[in-house]
Amino acid sequence: MKLRPGGTGNSDTPAGARSPLVTLAAVAVALAAVAGASTLGGDAGATASAGEAERAPVERSTLVCPQPSAAESAETRYTAHTPGEAGEAEGSSGLTPLTEHVPGTAFDPDEDEDDESEEEAEDEETDSEDPEDSADEDADSEEAADAEADADAADRVLAGDRPGVPVTDTVDGPDAPALAGTADGALAPGWTVQQTTLVDGAGDGRGLLGAACQQPDTSFWFAGASTADERADYIHLTNPDDGATVVDIDLFGPEGRLAPIVEEGVTVPGGATVRVRLTTLTEASEDALGVHVVARTGRVGAQIQAVDTEDGADWLAPVTSPDGPVVLPGVPADAESVRLVAFTPGESDITARVGFAGPTSTITPAGNETVHLRSGMVESVELDTVVQGEAGSLVLTPEGDTAGPIVAALLVTREEDGEREFAFLPATASIEEQSTAAGNVPGETRLILTATDEDVEVEVLTSAGDEGGEPATETLTVPAGTTVTHAPESAEEIEGRYALTVRRVSGGTLHAARMLTEDRDDVPMFTVQTLPDDRSSVSVPRTSPDLGVLSR
């Protein structure tokens, strides 16, 4: 593990009574507090009425990154970025390495609680025996806490102190750990971390594996995993919190939920990551699976690392928007094959109309006009004839009275001189305000932007590179029902890795993805990360003065 810490006196009033002076003073203070409350955190000239919500930037963000490839030839590149301009606003960001836990090894989830209870009991005995010793121990505890905080800060990697400037690092070999961390203050809104691993040479695991570090949650849905002989799929469960949790994993195939080998969850200790191979969960061999991950308590990160003996490797991210119309953005123009894997976890079957939003319009593929999804059963459809040399996005629209969640992803391959490489495109939420893709490389990056219903005006902000260059902004329009592929012109003047922020300025619904490419030994390596809204702001209800509190 070679990540660099820090990266680039008395009263005459009887007890229980109040003097008129004190009462008047209290009223004055209350009036001032109540009357002034409506302007706290907002502009003095704000005109929003009471109860009307306004947007405010988030003050803290948490991300977890899965453990990268264990291949000896792996090179993992990290890029962290918060969009915005560097200013005087305070904030910090960074991640710390997590411990890998192997399922089945001894672990007592109540051990920490038992130790804490024993320590608390000992402290109480000490307090009752000698006050001076207690005071000394309190001081020692404070010093120990300060020392621990300093140590944690020293262990942080990809540490940032201002927005608008990418922070990068690179780890060679198989020892890169899983990471978890936070950003606060000015660095919290839109904080994004990308890890991209290049595994060069022949053999299993070869390819370009890209993953956007994710916000931990309690539930995740995946489509496109596999337990086939040629695949080795591992689900990575990452726990950023102190307490242990148990995670349940359900697998779904063409005939419904697969019978598990063991009916018990996976324990993920606090501050640890666990890898679980899908073939250890079921005896069934299936080419296409749906996966549901649920944390019984707390929250985790979950991503699936898929390795194919012939077609390379990549990360499968969870679906971020299962509600229709469902959009799967980012199909490259030179895709050799496109396979849709989809199912509905709802109680009712769904028939969805299939559309492909290309450069000029949305077309319906001949022979695949619709796809029928039976409740809980995975459907796999080959859509090789959809692309026809044009980049685009797949759109699934429920027909008639059928409605419900759709969990879907595309397995896309590119081929050159017989060498193939694959990537996953899960259904993704739209960009309401903005989304950021970090870890871009000049000449090897493409944005794929789709407007599903109305024209959308978009700003693309290019950051400075970690080795030089200036930030820039470009504006473009994505016509309704089409997809625009965009390679930022300003990136040609950038040195090193940089970030792209896509901002929806006006118009309809916008979906986006970012594709990274790299050719090694004639292998057309690539990876695609979809770009859901970064949720950098939240809706905060406004309040108005309520002088009635003074009479309560």
Q: Which whole number is the average pLDDT over 468-494?
A: 93
pLDDT of residue 454: 97
pLDDT of residue 49: 52
pLDDT of residue 106: 60
pLDDT of residue 29: 36
Does 464 have pLDDT greater than 90? yes
Does 31 have pLDDT greater than 60? no
Start-to-end C-alpha separation, the chain:
61
Q: Record the tokens describing residue 247, joined without a space.
A: 């995670």
Higher pLDDT, residue 52 or 168: 168
Q: Which whole number is the average pLDDT over 91-98?
A: 97
Tell me the per-residue pLDDT of 321-355, one tens digit each, with 9 for 90 and over: 888 799 999 999 999 999 999 999 999 999 999 99
CB of 252 closer than 8 Å to CB of 222: no
Does 117 have pLDDT greater than 80? no
CB of 342 closer than 8 Å to CB of 328: no
> In the structure, what pLDDT confidence band is assigned to residue 52 with cuts at 50, 70 and 90?
low
pLDDT of residue 180: 98
Does 54 have pLDDT greater than 50? yes
Does 131 have pLDDT greater than 80? no
pLDDT of residue 545: 58
Does 32 have pLDDT greater than 60? no
CA dihedral 42, 43, 45, 49 (to 10 degrees): -20
Q: Which whole number is the average pLDDT over 238-247?
A: 97
**Integer-rounded Cα radius of gyration of the chain:** 27
Residue 467 has a CB neighbour count (10 Å cut-off) of 13
Q: Residues 281-305, buried b or exposed e (16+ Cβ, 10 A)?
A: bbebebbbbbbbbbbeebbbbbbbb
Q: Record the tokens describing residue 89, joined without a space.
A: 């606003």
Does 315 have pLDDT greater than 60? yes
Question: Highest mean pLDDT range out of 48-57, 89-98, 103-112?
Answer: 89-98
pLDDT of residue 278: 98
Tell me the per-residue pLDDT of 216-241, one tens digit each, with 9 for 90 and over: 999 999 999 999 999 999 999 999 99
Residue 274: helix, strand or coil by DSSP?
A: strand
- Find tokens 């024993």 and name the residue: 118
Q: Which of 65, 280, 259 is nearest to 179 (CA)?
A: 65
Tell me the per-residue pLDDT of 266-298, one tens digit each, with 9 for 90 and over: 999 999 999 999 999 999 999 999 999 999 999
